[in-house]
Amino acid sequence: MNRSAYLILVPLFAASSARPSKKPLSFESSVVPIRNTNALSLKPVKWTLVGGSGARDVVSGRTVPITLRADIAKGWHIYSLTQKSGGPIPLRLDILGAPDVVVRGVIRAPKPDRTFDRNFGIETELYSGSPQFTIPIAVPGRAGRGVRKFQIGARYQVCSEKVCLPPRTDKLDVALRIAGRA
């Protein structure tokens, strides 16, 4: 029998035979926390803004680079911005909630590792560790002065050698302090 099954069934059996109470046994009351540092994380990617979350200064009509870092847990990986279709969900970085703030240019990303992925049966491009992605964020010349708040959405699929989690979108709050034209 699978070791995980023992971790669940043994406490259930012990709890049911040791409780003469008339209350029905609930699953929550008989689950024993597992403290295994090798266990798979349910959220193996943590996104952060490089340079902190403070407002970045930009002049109307100009571009400011915003860099994100994905801290990917050991044993996990995400797929590249250029991952071909027919397999995993590629990374996508989008601006959310600011119609006058746009991506202008190409997102800079590290060169992905290329490997055959047994989960999908195709060659994939992936990142592991702590890759950084720099997005050229532009503010139009007609943009008014002041602080513009928006989010960057990072949509990705994360996999290990044995399992892939469903695609998800993590959102990071960003602020730009827009000055008038120089």
For the chain, give every domain's residue range. 1-39, 45-179
Q: 156: part of which helix (H) or strand (E)?
A: strand 146-156
CA neighbor of 173 nearest in space, from 66, 61, 57, 64 = 66
pLDDT exceeding 90 applies to what percent of the chain? 61
So what's the pLDDT on residue 182? 57
Distance from C-alpha of 41 to C-alpha of 58, rounded to nearest angstrom: 38
The residue assigned the tokens 């060169």 is 111
Residues present in the chain in total: 182
Which option is the CATH number for 45-179: 1.10.287.610, 3.40.50.620, 2.60.40.1250, 2.170.130.10?
A: 2.60.40.1250
Q: Taking residues 8-32, what's their average pLDDT?
A: 39
Distance from C-alpha of 11 to C-alpha of 16, rounded to nearest angstrom: 8
12 has a pLDDT exceeding 60: no
So what's the pLDDT on residue 126? 95
Rounded to two decimals, the pTM is: 0.75
Burial code (b: 16+ CB inside 10 Å, e: under 16) for 118-131 equals eeeeeebbbbbeeb
Greater confidence (15 vs 138) lies with 138
